[in-house]
């Protein structure tokens, strides 16, 4: 049988792992009788755990919400997951650095050696390459999330894809994460339609307004968001017919390549957008799939001229020397032994 202290820790962990526990189930897990469970619950309450109890059919115990956050009990996998998530989130969301470091320090102090090695292995061997600043602020995300949850209107300054400033009044619905960017999906009161807003283009502190009755969530909200991110904002657009179903092409094409729509049992439509004709051609070439042109916003002769210039450039280009091959060196320099030899760069496969 577990000691009282060990049993209390085990009971706290069980209450945090499930929303509701029947008294008999807790007693069976701890190997004690129902009276001991009740006494242990009272001890947890004295330690600050807001444990709620109910009687009758369907009664039992549940961990409620208190004025303060009670101590959390984490198993091995949860502790390692939390450490890894904190390191990743602090690199992509601004304003988390100090809190993340403080929490990581607490975890590092409490973790046994075997878990500390697991959680720190990824960080220890990771080489941080050059990236831009975090694309979202933790405080801003929290404000937007609160407005979505509580159905409160928002007013904020916003810059469009072309940099045009505007003031927006919206009824927020959801936050969405796409790659490293965050988006707010909301009903725009001035435009009387659903819109998606890039969070990093929201300027200043949004102003919370009055409560509003929640609107029905559009069935195609995810499709609207993807179209608003990867296709609608761009001036240069093209629609391609690609062999394969949407499911097959989603597994083969990069996420950023465009918007896929089902056309038939054997073909799908791919809608691609870009800032310029050259970027549009580059994106089409990177798809790497046979395709048929359906619609194009750009004059075809202009695109053909771009392709012809690229072909001409490739015809006159010097062949690329294989990685690690040294340039031809005069014989005398080799005989003198003074020719420096550079170490080959790592090769990315």
Element (H, E) at 274: strand 267-274
What is the pLDDT, as a whole number, of residue 216? 81
Q: What pTM does this model have? A: 0.58
Confidence at residue 336, expressed as pLDDT on a 0 to 100 scale: 47
Say what the pLDDT of residue 157 is.
Answer: 96
Q: For residue 320, what pLDDT is reported?
A: 67
User: Residue 90 is encoded by which pair of tokens?
Assistant: 């602090």
At residue 206, the pLDDT reads 95
Give me the average pLDDT of each 10-residue run along the chain (349 residues): 78 85 90 91 88 84 74 77 76 72 74 76 64 73 91 94 90 83 91 89 93 83 72 83 91 81 92 87 85 88 86 75 57 47 49
Distance CA 304, CA 310 (A): 10
Exposed (0-12), middle (13-18) or buried (19+): which is 164, by Cβ within 10 Å?
Answer: exposed
3-state SS, residue 271: strand
The predicted structure's pLDDT at residue 172: 94
Pair of tokens at residue 82: 């939390």
Who's near 22: CB < 8 A, 6+ residues apart? Answer: 59, 60
Distance CA 249, CA 260 (A): 8
């Amino acid at each position: 049988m577990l000691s009282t202290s060990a049993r209390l820790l085990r009971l706290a962990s069980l209450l945090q792992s499930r929303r509701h526990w029947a008294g008999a189930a807790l007693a069976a897990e701890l190997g004690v009788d129902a009276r001991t469970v009740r006494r242990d619950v009272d001890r947890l309450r004295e330690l600050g755990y807001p444990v709620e109890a109910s009687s009758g059919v369907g009664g039992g115990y549940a961990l409620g919400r208190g004025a303060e956050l009670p101590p959390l009990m984490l198993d091995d996998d949860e502790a390692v997951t939390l450490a890894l998530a904190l390191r990743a989130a602090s690199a992509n969301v601004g304003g988390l650095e100090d809190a993340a470091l403080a929490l990581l320090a607490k975890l590092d102090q409490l973790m046994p050696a075997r878990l500390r090695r697991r959680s720190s292995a990824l960080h220890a061997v990771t080489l941080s390459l050059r990236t831009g600043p975090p694309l979202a602020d933790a405080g801003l995300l929290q404000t937007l999330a609160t407005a979505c949850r509580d159905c409160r209107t928002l007013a904020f300054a916003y810059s469009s894809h072309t940099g045009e400033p505007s003031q927006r009044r919206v009824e927020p619905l959801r936050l969405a994460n796409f790659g490293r960017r965050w988006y707010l999906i909301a009903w725009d009161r001035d435009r009387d339609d659903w819109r998606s807003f890039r969070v990093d283009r929201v300027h200043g502190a949004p102003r919370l307004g009055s409560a509003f009755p929640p609107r029905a969530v559009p069935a195609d909200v995810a499709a609207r968001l993807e179209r608003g991110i990867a296709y609608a904002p761009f001036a240069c657009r093209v629609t391609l017919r690609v062999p394969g179903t949407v499911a097959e092409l989603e597994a083969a094409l990069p996420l950023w390549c465009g918007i896929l729509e089902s056309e038939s049992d054997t073909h799908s439509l791919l809608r691609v957008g870009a800032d310029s004709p050259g970027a549009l051609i580059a994106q089409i070439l990177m798809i790497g799939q046979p395709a048929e042109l359906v619609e194009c916003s750009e004059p075809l002769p202009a695109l053909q001229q771009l392709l012809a210039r690229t072909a001409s450039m490739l015809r006159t280009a010097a062949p690329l020397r294989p990685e690690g091959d040294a340039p031809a060196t005069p014989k005398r320099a080799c005989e003198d032994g003074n020719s420096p030899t550079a170490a080959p760069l790592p090769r990315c496969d």
